[in-house]
Structure 1
C-alpha cells in the first residue's frame, strides 16, 4: 500500500551504501538492536503469523551469528529470516541508494527472463545476446537444479502475507536475476541447461547489467492504457479493469470513473460483471471502501479495527508522516490490551450507492493482487457468502492476507552502520466479519484455479479472462434452459 511513494522516499535518503566495507561485531550488534527495537515498537501485527516465543528464538540465533565481522551484504542476508518471519509483504529492507531488487550487484546478473509456476521455470525473454529459445524449460543453472534454486530463494522472499507463495513467484517473474545474485551467486558466466521437447541442451551465457534488464523491461512494456477501464463484450456483460487503487491529478478521477461506470452498467442492464484486479498491488484504502459501496447489498462495515503498536514517541530515530504525528493524540485510543487508530471511513457503517450493481460478479485475482486489493476481495468474498453463486473468484490466490493487512503509514529508520533502510507499515487493518473464513494464514482462494502458462504469455493469450467469459456463457445457457 502506497509502496511506490515509500520506495521513492527510501531511495532519497541521504546516507549512501557502504559497499565493500567490513562491519565490526559491535557495529552489527548496534544495527541489530535498532532493528529489533523498531519492529517491537512499530509493527502492529508482529506475532500474527509467527508466535512470540518462536520470534524470540530467531532473534537469539541471529544475534549469535553477529559475533564476527561481516560485509553489508552478509549482514543483509543474515537478517532476512527475521523479515520473512513477519509474513508481511509490505515490509521494506532496502540498501540506501540502491534499487531494492538489485541491492548489491548491478552486473553479473542472470541474462534470461523466466516465468515460474510451481517448482518449474520457462524462458519468456532474453535480456542479453543469448539465443536460448523462448518457451524452453530451464532445468538447471550452473549445475543447480531449478527446483533446488526455487526452494532456496522462496524462504528469503517477503512479498506475501501469511504463508502465501503466489506473490513470491510473481516477484521471481520480475526480479529473478536480482534475487539469484543476492542469495545464491553472481558469477562471471551462466551455464544453463534447458529442455526443447524432451532433449536437454546446454549453453554458456554472459551475464548482463541491471541497466540492460531495466532497458529490456521498458522496451517490452505493453502499450499504455487508462488505469481504470470499462468495456462491454456483449449484451448484459461488462468487464471493469482497475490496475491500481491510486493515481494522480493528471489521470482519471477514480470517484468520477466509478460513478459513470456503474451508471452505464445499470443503464445497459448488465447481469454479468467481470472485475479484473490482477496485478493490482493496492494503494489508497478508502478507494477499496468506495468501490465496494457500488457492489454491496446492504450497509456494511469494512474494517473491524485498525491496530497500531503504541501511542508514545518512538525511542529511536525514525521518519513518519507529520500529519500522523499531529493527529495520533486524538486518533489513537487504548482498547483493552491494544492501541487502535479510530479515524478512518472504513470503520463506520457505509451505505450502498443508489446505483449499486446487484448482478453476478466474477472477480479475477493473482499473486500480485495485494494490499488494498486483497482487503477489497476479502470484503466481497465475506459479505456475499450468504448469496451462493453471486460472486465467483477466478485465477490464483491473492498475495495479501484474507483477515489482516499491515501497511498504511510507514515508519522508516536507517540502521546507523550498515546503512540499510527498514520501513514498517504502522497500521494493522483487520477486516470486519471475517471469522467464518477457516484460513488464518491464506489469501482469497479462487473458486476456479486458473494458472497462465509460459505459452500463454508468449502468445499473449489471456487464459484467465477467456475462462471467465466461457463461464459466463455457460451460466447464460443454463439460465435460458430454465426460462
Structure 2
C-alpha cells in the first residue's frame, strides 16, 4: 500500500467489489471476439499510457511480442475467466506488485470460485508444503508434509502457480510465497482447477497416507481465519529486553484516524531510547506492506547519521490526459501541470523525500537490526533500501517482496474494461531511491545479511525464530532470552 491516495483507491475498488454481484463464469455469456479485442486494446492502451516503469524488467520488444501472442489467442469467444487468465501474463510481465488485475464484485484472491476450494491451510518453503490447519472437517494432522494434490506432486503445483502470481517486484519471490501461504486455495482454483474433492497424499509419523477431502467455500475459509485471528495490538510498539536493547515494531506505515499518532509514537519512542541510553535497536518490519511514503522518510530521519536524500526522482509516464476513460484522484488532474520534463523523462517534482533531509535531534546512533520478510513491501522496502544503501543496519529474515531500487505505486489509475468489466489498477508514480547504484541486483529486494526462515514447527507453535535469532545475535551471552520476557512500554 502507498499513500492516502492509494488507500482511497483501494477503498474504491473494495466498494466496487461489494456493490456489484455477478454470476459465475459458467453462467455468464461468452465474450465475443470483438468484445475481447476491444477490452484487450483498452488494457494495452492503459498500461502504455499510465505505468511509469512498464519496461523496467521486461524490454519493450519482448513486451510487444507478448502482446501480439496474447492477441492471437483471442480468436474465438471465451468466458470472462478464460479472458482473465489469458491476460494475466501481461500483468505478470510488469513484475510490479502494485499493479492489480481484478474481477469486479469479487475478493481479488477468489476471483471466480467461491466454493470448490482447497480445504487445508498450507505453509510453503521452496518446493515443499506442510499442513498448518484444516479449514473444513478434514483430519490431516498439523505439521504433516503434503506430497501431492489430485495426483500432482506439490513441487509441480508450486512451479505451476508461481508464474501467475504478481505480489512481487522484479524477480523477487518471497512475496509470492507469502501470498501462497495465505491464499493458496484461491490460486489453485483460478489457475489449476476447482474440483468437488481433493485427493491429498501426505507424510505423517514416517509413512505416507492418502485422504479424500471435500472442497469448501470461501466463507468457510474466511470464518476460520477470523476465528484464529490473534488478539489485536497497537500497530506501533516499543518494548525493552533490558537496559541495552529495545524492539520497535511497526506493522504499517499508515494511521487510523489521527496521523499524529505515528509522529507522536516516533517522537516519544526515540526520546526514551536516548534517555535510557539504549545501545541496540531491533526494528521489526515483517508483514508491513507499506503505507504513506512520508512515514518511511520520517522514520529514517530518526536513524540517519548524516543529511540524506531519500528519493533520487519520481518518474511518471506522461503529462497529457489519457485517451480513455478511467478513475484517477481528483487532485492529480488539478496538479498535473506541475509535472516536469527532465533528462530522466517526466517527473513529479514535489515530494519531501526528494529534498535533502536532516537527522532528528533525538536520532538513534546505536546498533540497528532490521527484520524483514516477503510481506515487507512498498514503503517498507523503500525504507529498508535507504537504510541498507547507507550501511546503517544489519538485516535479518527473508528477502523483501518489494524491489530495492524502484517502487511503482503512489497515485493510482483504475480502468474498467468495457465488456468483461474487469478492473486494472495501475500505479502512476515510480519512486527511484537515491544513492543505490552500488547494489548489484537491479531486479531484487533487500537480501538479508542473515537469512532466517521459520519452520513448520515454528508456525504451529508460534515460536518466533527470527526474533530469537536476532536477540542471540545482539546479546550472545543471553541465548535463553525469549520474547515472552519482554516488557512493553508502549
Find out whether 1:405 has 2:407 as its counterpart: yes
Query: How far 1:9 sits from its partner (Å)?
Result: 1.1
Q: Is the 8 A contact 1:44 1:427 kept in 2?
A: yes
Shift of 1:474: 2.6
Question: 2:16 aligned with 1:8, yes or no?
Answer: no
Q: Relative to 1, partners in 2 of residues 1:304 and 1:251: Cα closer, same or farther, differing over 3 Å?
A: closer
In structure 2, the partner of 1:464 is: 466
- After TM superposition, list the pairs within 5 Å mapping 1:67-466 onto structure 2: 67-249=75-257, 253-330=261-338, 332-336=339-343, 338-384=345-391, 391-466=393-468
- TM-score relative to the length of structure 1: 0.95
- Contact (CA 8 Å) 1:17, 1:419: kept in 2 or not? no
Cα distance in 2, alignment partners of residues 11 and 105 from structure 1: 18
The Cα offsets for residues 132-188 of structure 1, whole Å up to 9 and x where unpaired, read as: 100001110000100000000000000000001100000000000000000000001
The 3 A distance-change label for structure 1 pair 250 and 216 is: farther
Q: In 1, Cα distance between the equivalents of 2:62 and 2:177?
A: 26
Q: How far did residue 10 of structure 1 move?
A: 1.3
250-259 or 122-131: bigger deviation: 250-259
Distance across 1 between alignment mates of 2:348 and 2:83: 34
Pairwise CA distance, 1:473: 1.2
For 2:340 and 2:81, locate their aligned partners in 1 and report how far apart those are by CA, in whole Å.
Answer: 40
Please identify, of 413-422 and 18-27, the stretch whose mean Cα deviation from structure 2 is larger: 18-27
Question: Distance between the aligned counterparts of 1:208 and 1:237, measured in 2?
Answer: 46
Shift of 1:4: 5.1
Instruction: Find the aligned partners of 2:267 and 2:332 in 1 and give their Cα distance.
Output: 30
Give unmatched runs, 5+ long, in structure 1: 385-389, 478-483
Query: Retained in 2: the 8 A contact 1:17–1:95?
Result: no
1:328-351: CA deviation from partner (whole Å, max 9, x where unpaired): 212x10113610001100000110
Per-residue CA deviation, residues 80-122 of structure 1 (Å, 9 max, x unaligned), is 1110000000011110011100000000000000001111100
Give 1:21 deviation, angstroms: 2.0
For residues 17 and 85 of structure 1, the distance between their equivalents in structure 2, rounded to whole angstroms, comes to 28
How many residues align structurally?
Answer: 471
Judged with a 3 Å threshold, the aligned counterparts in structure 2 of structure 1 residues 323 and 251 are, in CA distance, closer, same or farther, namely closer
Any idea what SS the aligned residue of 2:476 has? helix
